[in-house]
Amino acid sequence: MALTKITGEGVGSLDAITIGDGTAADKKILFDGNAQDFHIGLDDSSDSLTIGLGSTLGTTSHMVIDASGRVTKPLQPCFSATADTTNIPLATQTTIALSGERFDVGNNLDANTFTAPITGKYLFTYMFYFAEVDADHTSLDVHIKTSNKQYQQTFSPDHFLNSDSLFSVSGSVLADMDASDTCFFTVRVAGGAAQTDIHVDSQVSGVLIC
């Protein structure tokens, strides 16, 4: 007999509630809402506990816990992309042109800019590989620019390069963003000649943490 409703009366005296009879089948608790339905259930084919949208188990999974306790969030906003080759002019903040999108869960990366779908804390990372760095550059700046704040990392190539060379930098920041805030990446060089390029092996990424 299917259990269709549990009320508050007498629930405090229950030691446990068992759903299912041990046979191979998906089991779920359905929250029947006005605008949206949600479910918590056992996906018996993958032996995982799933929290998802809708009334059908496994179609739109928001959180999945497997039998080993590993937790995945298949719809968590995140992206990774590589950079186009870009020549960096002197004394100008130059936006990094992105291409080669590896993944973009939620489709929040448009061209060179990520737009936050919801308010939260976002982790952004970069690894920039520079070619033909001029040893006479007095500064090489990398910026993570969000609607709320610019995060900057600064190097002085003329202090440690004896000749024009290759150079890589990496960094990250945990940024607070409101819904519809944007984030993009820029670089700036000063001093010397305008010869420094972004290599195509450069990449950026971002993810909603909490």
Identify the structural domains of the chain with CATH numbers, from first to last. 11-72 (no CATH), 78-208 (2.60.120.40)
Q: pTM for this structure?
A: 0.89
pLDDT in tens, the chain (210 residues): 455 455 445 555 667 788 888 888 889 999 999 889 999 999 988 899 999 999 888 889 999 999 999 999 999 999 999 999 889 999 999 999 998 899 999 999 999 999 999 999 999 999 999 999 999 999 999 999 999 999 999 999 999 999 999 999 999 999 999 999 999 999 999 999 999 999 999 999 999 999
Tell me what pLDDT residue 2 has: 52
List the Cα angle 15/17/18 in 5-degree steps: 130
Q: Which pLDDT score is estimated for 177?
A: 98
- What pLDDT score was predicted for residue 20? 83
d(CA 202, CA 100): 11
Q: What is the pLDDT of residue 125?
A: 98
Would you state the pLDDT for residue 13? 60
Given a contact cutoff of 8 angstroms between Cβ atoms, the answer to whether 112 and 102 are in contact is: no
